[in-house]
Structures are given as structure tokens and as C-alpha cells.
A and B are shown apart, each in its own frame.
Chain A
Amino acid sequence: MTDQVIYDRGYRKYDGPRTGPSGARRAVYKDGLRRVLGLGRKARYKIFPWVLITIAFIAAAVFIGIHWAIGDIAESLGEGVPSYGGLFDFYSAIALLFIAFSGPQLIIPDRTKGVLSVYFSRPLTVDGYLTSKLNSFVTLVGAFYIVPQILLHLGLALIADGGFVPYLSANLDILWKVPVTALAFVALHGALIFPLSATISRTGIAAAAFLGILTAGSGIAARVAEASFAGARWASLLALDQHPRIIRDRLFGDTVDYPAEIAGFEWWVSIVVIAVLAAIGGVFVRQRYRRLA
């Protein structure tokens, strides 16, 4: 028989470094990423986001494959095979689902499960909390838009007749056009999904409301814009999902006539609409959380 002793470890004091409010914000940011991706959670929380991410990557791979099969990038573009701008369009539906999933996941559970009462008892302000959540959202959704584009870019460079490096150096503009387009999508969609998530208590309902506003709203706005009453053209701006696409088309040279363009609005009006929506959404969410804290 051996001598066995049960040790009581008691309570250990901590006198090491403390990261302060910046550490708290970083913790919220990282938790946001983990929450959306289902990391540290049961398997069922991982399925939906990772299926969507996989599909987005597959889309980029398919595009590269089509260009490779045709053999000549210029020729394939001439035959209407989509490139950078087209890839945005191709997986925009998938991206919408990802946003409809990730926005509510970032915001709603903390509020409905009462966890905010713990967060705000720590050295964390409402602004710090919301900024960290927004950063998580921008990182995830931005990456969702940008990473497949980078894959496409590198893939096209690999199959380019002129060689890898010459292709990259001849297409340096892609390095800013893709992020700017992604930012337009993220800003518009974030301006919708954050206020909805700050108001609605169920993630599924918030996601449905987001998708409903973008799809049904765009259709209704387009119909109203075609009406003959005074000021009807302004209704075309309410087709919200067109605005990042108008910016994308402006940057990549694609031409699709959206309701706002048909109504005679310049492309920069879409930038204004996105900026105004983002500002209104930000103020609304901030005010709401100041009351909750």
C-alpha cells in the first residue's frame, strides 16, 4: 500500500502582468471568431459555417479550373468566363448566408443568455465590446470575400502564359480593388445585420429578416422605382444589395444595369448610401447597448 496524500491547492494569487482594457477587447474579438466558426463548441455548431466556407473555396477552384481548361485567360474572359468581379457575384448568395449566420451569432447569444452582465463587470466598455464584435465580423466576412479571390488571383497567375510574376505585377490593382469591393459588401451587410441582431432575440429570425430585407426589399424597390409618381426614382436606392455591386462593377469594369443606375443615379451615390446606412446602424446599436449595459 502506498502513502497517498490529497493536496488542497487552495487559491493562488496572481501578480503577473495584466493586459487591461485592450486585452479585454482582444478577448472579445477572439471569442467572436471562435463563436462564428464553432470552435470550442459542439460539432453541430461547426457544420453550417464550414460548409459555406468550403463552398466558397470550391467556387474559386472551379473558376481557376475553367480558365485553365480554356488555356488562355484573355480568351476565356472574352468568352464570358467570369473573373474577379464575377467571382464576387458567383458566391454572393453563399456570402449572404454566411453573414446571416455570423452576425446574429456574434451579437444575440451574449445578450439573451445574460452574459453581458459578466462582460461589463470587467474592464470593458460598451464601445470596446461593440468594436471588438465589429472587428470579428469584418475579419470573418472580409476573409470570406477576399481569400477565395486571392486563391483565384494566384491560380490565374500560375496558369498565365506570361508566367507567375509577370501576371502578378501586371495586375497589382487587384490588390486594392478586391479589398475595397469586399469592404463595400461588408459595410452594407453589417449595417443591416447588426441592428437586426441587436433587436431580435432569436438568431434564426434575425437571419430571416436580414435575407428578407435584401431580397424582397430589392424587388419591391425596383418595382416602385418604375412607377410614375413624383420622386419614385428615389425608391430605387432602397434596393440595398445593388450598392456594393455597383461599386464592384465600377472597379472591375463590368456592366450590369441596376435599378439605381436605371433611375439615373451616379455610382458614387451608392457609396453615400452605404456610408449613411453604416452610420445609422452604428448609432442605433451603440444606443441600444448603452441602455443594456
Chain B
Amino acid sequence: MGQGNVVEISGLTHDYGEVVALKNLDLEIPSGITGLVGANGAGKTTMLRLLLGLLHPTAGTISVLGADPQTTPLEVRAKVGYMPEVDCLPKDQTAADFVAYTAQLAGIPSREAKRRSSETLFLVGLEEERFRYLGDFSTGMQQRVKLAQAIVHDPDLVLLDEPASGLDPEGRVQMLNLIRRLGEFDIDIIVSSHVLTDIEQTCSWVVMLDAGDLLRNGPLQGFDELGTVVVEPVTNIDQLVQAIERRGQEAVRDNRQIVVGPGGHEIEEAVVAAAAETQSGLIRMVRGSSSLEDLFLQKDGTS
């Protein structure tokens, strides 16, 4: 996929009877690797199923790769790969057979499907095991097969629902490396996860959901600007706090440290100016709160 948005959503609402899963969302997702984060029940899987046209929105419009999944679901699904969170592998089939079969389901001719099955299983590190039955696979290997079936047909966009779910730490790292690698092959990816560090390690764009509400939608580096800065002055701590506050920044003394922010790079500028004004030498000044998890806990973001 080249430039532009892979997904555009406007006024999207979806409910399951009385339970509202997504509430009036407006967002655009650009090319690249996007993280869809939120706690369990935040609406991540619902959104992925809406993008595939498997669910119909209660209100609003969706565009995936320029097509409407509600009116032309087959056109969308031909260009999208999907890795479900749930178990979805037939245990009595070999990995090679299953992945080739899913390629044929996406319209790849039989002979080419077999060739691509082998290549894709090689890519995910299962070249030696491809003729083994899926019932004999470990959880990590099964996750790799699920990833392989999602990309075997050369989709323009891949939707990964909790791809690292159930994996041990080593398996999790390998899966995240694989996802990053797919991004290098110019495949657009939307990764759903409730593990924020996974998103931080793999994504360039983040969509944050909380109980159906959109908390934030933007580039990952932009999230840094909502962090705080920890300052440790040599002297004149209270005067420095007042000087920082006079420059419009929130500052709280914590023993011999001052926590400033949250905010962007204007914090550092304000601290330096205030330190010069109050003759307070600075031992250190570091960004303290910058992780997605902090931001998620704050829940004060707006898109």
C-alpha cells in the first residue's frame, strides 16, 4: 500500500442490543503498522470484524482500502488478511495444506497457492514443520501458522487480533519481530492488543479504545508529548517550582525532585528558563512518564 489512509471511519457506532461496543468513532488510519489498543472488551475485535464486513454498524460509515465493507464485503476481504484471536486451525491438517487452502479461498490458483504456502511458512519460521499436522504444533507454532494464513494471499492490509496472545516471552518477542518484518515488506498492518508494550515495540500509529470510546488516535511518537519531565535541582527547589508554574506548566515537588507536566517539549524550555531565573543548578532532567500505559491510565487523551 502506498500513501494515504488504509481505513477511514466516520460516526461509527455498533451495539449488541443494550451493550454499546463502539461509540460514535471518527478516525483515520494511515499506511504502516497501527496498534489498536484497549483493555479486554474495549471494542477491538468488534472494530476488526466491522472492517471485514462481518458485522454491520448500527450507525456510521467505514472505508477500507477505498471500499465499503458493508456494501462490497467480498471486494474488501479479497484484499485483507485476518488473523483471529480465537483458535482457528483444523488439527487434522498439515500446516502446508491448510495455508495453501486459505490461499485458494482468497482466490489464488491451486498450484500457486501451494508454492506461496511453502514460502510463507518459511517466512514465519516453519519451513521444517510445514508437513506436520497442526494438532502436533505448540501454541507458538500455531500462532505462526495463523499469521501465515493471514498473509499468504499477498493482502494489502493485514488485521492481527491479539497475535501474541498465549505466547511465552520468547515467543512474544519472535512474533513481534515477525510483525515488524512484515511492515518492512510494505504490508499495512493493524495489530490489536491489550498489551501496550507490544504496541510500543511494533507500531508507528496508535488507536486507543476504552469501553467503546476513542481515547486517542495518532502517531506513536506524538504520545511522548503527553509525558511528564522529572527535574532534580541542586538548590532553590521551591523557587524553581514557582518559576516553572509562572511559565504555565504544572509542577509538583516530590522530595528533592520536581515532576513537571504533562506536556510537550515546551516543558524542557520552561524548566531551563526557570532554572536560569532562580539560579538553580540542574543535576538531571529526564522524561519520566512517556509510555502508552501511563497515557492509558490517565485516560485524558483526545483524538
Given known pairs A10-B123, A27-B104, A119-B105, the reply for A18 and B78 (CB within 8 Å) is yes
Q: Of B54, B81, B133, B182, which one neighbours A120 at CB under 8 angstroms?
A: B54
Given known pairs A19-B107, A123-B107, the reply for A41 and B84 (CB within 8 Å) is no
Q: B149 at the A/B interface (Cβ < 8 Å)?
A: yes
Complex: A14 Cα to B79 Cα, angstroms: 12
* Contact call A20/B54, Cβ cutoff below 8 A: no
Q: A16 at the A/B interface (Cβ < 8 Å)?
A: yes
Within 8 A of A (CB), among B142-161: 149, 151, 153-154
Given known pairs A19-B109, A41-B92, A118-B88, the reply for A14 and B77 (CB within 8 Å) is no
* Contact call B88/A11, Cβ cutoff below 8 A: no
Q: How far is the CB of B201 from chain A (nearest CB, A)?
A: 20
Given known pairs A14-B112, A24-B104, the reply for A118 and B151 (CB within 8 Å) is no
Q: Of B90, B133, B185, which one neighbours A115 at CB under 8 angstroms?
A: B90
Complex: A114 Cα to B146 Cα, angstroms: 12
Residue of A nearest to B151 (CB): A11
Q: A40 at the A/B interface (Cβ < 8 Å)?
A: yes
- Beta-carbon contacts of B84-125 to A below 8 Å, as 1s and 0s? 101111111110010001101111110010001001101100
Q: A228 at the A/B interface (Cβ < 8 Å)?
A: no
- What is the interface size of chain A, counting residues whose CB is below 8 A from a CB of the partner? 37
* Contact call B182/A117, Cβ cutoff below 8 A: no
Complex: A11 Cα to B104 Cα, angstroms: 18
Q: Of A118, A121, A124, which one neighbours B80 at CB under 8 angstroms?
A: A121
* Contact call A14/B154, Cβ cutoff below 8 A: yes
Complex: A27 Cα to B110 Cα, angstroms: 9
* Contact call A293/B54, Cβ cutoff below 8 A: yes
Most chain A C-beta atoms within 10 Å of own C-beta, residue among B77, B91, B112: B77
* Contact call A18/B90, Cβ cutoff below 8 A: no
* Contact call B116/A20, Cβ cutoff below 8 A: no
Q: How far is the CB of A14 from chain B (nearest CB, A)?
A: 4
Q: Of A11, A109, A122, which one neighbours B182 at CB under 8 angstroms?
A: A11
Most chain B C-beta atoms within 10 Å of own C-beta, residue among A10, A110, A115, A124: A115
* Contact call B93/A40, Cβ cutoff below 8 A: yes
Contacts of B106 in A (CB 8 A): 18, 24, 122-123
Complex: A24 Cα to B73 Cα, angstroms: 14
Contacts of B86 in A (CB 8 A): 114, 117
Q: A156 at the A/B interface (Cβ < 8 Å)?
A: no
* Contact call A109/B54, Cβ cutoff below 8 A: no
Contacts of A31 in B (CB 8 A): 101
* Contact call A109/B107, Cβ cutoff below 8 A: no
Q: Of A27, A41, A109, which one neighbours B105 at CB under 8 angstroms?
A: A27
Complex: A45 Cα to B133 Cα, angstroms: 13
Within 8 A of A (CB), among B259-280: none
Within 8 A of B (CB), among A26-58: 26-28, 31, 40-42, 45
* Contact call A14/B108, Cβ cutoff below 8 A: yes
Residue of A nearest to B88 (CB): A114
* Contact call B119/A9, Cβ cutoff below 8 A: yes
A-B contact pairs, 22 of them (CB 8 A): A9-B122, A10-B123, A13-B154, A18-B108, A19-B107, A19-B109, A24-B104, A24-B106, A40-B93, A40-B94, A114-B87, A115-B90, A117-B86, A117-B88, A119-B105, A120-B54, A121-B82, A122-B102, A123-B74, A123-B105, A125-B74, A293-B54
Listed in ascending order, the chain A residues whose CB lies under 8 Å from chain B are: 9-14, 16-21, 23-24, 26-28, 31, 40-42, 45, 109-110, 113-115, 117-125, 293
Listed in ascending order, the chain B residues whose CB lies under 8 Å from chain A are: 52, 54, 74-75, 77-78, 80-82, 84, 86-94, 97, 101-102, 104-109, 112, 116, 119-120, 122-123, 133, 149, 151, 153-154, 182, 185, 187
Given contacts A114-B88, A117-B86, A122-B102, 12 further A-B contacts (CB under 8 A): A11-B187, A14-B108, A14-B112, A14-B154, A16-B112, A17-B109, A20-B78, A23-B107, A27-B101, A118-B102, A118-B149, A122-B78
